[in-house]
Amino acid sequence: MEAECFASKKWVPPPCGWLKVNMDVAIRQNGSYIAIFVRDSYSSLCLVYIERLVAMDPIVREAFAWAEAVSLARWLKWDKVLFECDSLLVCKDVLFGEPPQLWAASGMVEHIWFCLLECHDWRIAWVSRKCNLQAHLLAGWAARFGIVGFVPFSIIPEHIRGCDMHP
């Protein structure tokens, strides 16, 4: 497992033959929504998945988004994947490979470790909110309209689908 910390100011496609998975959480009074989106090395949108959670600790929600993303990639048997998240705390707990400091998220962090160790060509990276904008906007959009599950790309507003494609 390799880790990186990007200082880029915009979303960057993964290397040729790889997939990039970005995830984020929107917190609302009626619950939280995690958004996971996947793009290939041509920046083509490959998959969008959204799930609603009951209200809980923000760090637990971020860890849950990671756990769902790695579970999804494992279930779909993807072999070359770069996971990006804008939660530095969760990223650090996943990276250190020691008992997590985030005890409330420890089960999810351990699940993420297990999946990352099992899949040798998976990488993780912390990125700024700017580089994770599409996941952030998707989660907010899903929360606003109560959208869950695998989402057809055609229903995602264009300003969200293309937000990371502009210089």
- The single-letter code of the amino acid at 76 is L
User: In 3-state terms, the chain is what percent helix, strand and coil (to 5)?
Assistant: 40, 25, 35
Residue 151 tokens, joined = 């989402």
Write down the pLDDT at residue 33. 95
Write down the pLDDT at residue 162. 85
Mean pLDDT by 10 residues, the chain (167 residues): 55 94 89 94 95 82 91 95 88 71 75 84 87 92 95 95 74
End-to-end CA distance of the chain: 30
Cα separation, 21 vs 153, whole angstroms: 16
Find, among 67, 73, 71, the residue nearest to 102 by Cα.
67
Contact 23, 31 (CB under 8 A): no
Strand order in the sheet with 81-85: 2-5, 122-126, 81-85, 19-28, 31-40, 45-53, 149-150
Reduced to 3 states (helix: H, G, I; strand: E, B; else coil), residue 96 is: helix
Q: Of the CATH numbers 3.40.50.2300, 3.30.420.10, 3.90.79.10, 3.40.50.300, which one belongs to the domain with range 2-161?
A: 3.30.420.10
What residue spans define the domains of the chain? Answer: 2-161
Cα separation, 6 vs 128, whole angstroms: 8
**pTM beyond 0.85, yes or no:** yes
Write down the pLDDT at residue 8. 61
Strand-pair category, 19-28 with 31-40:
antiparallel
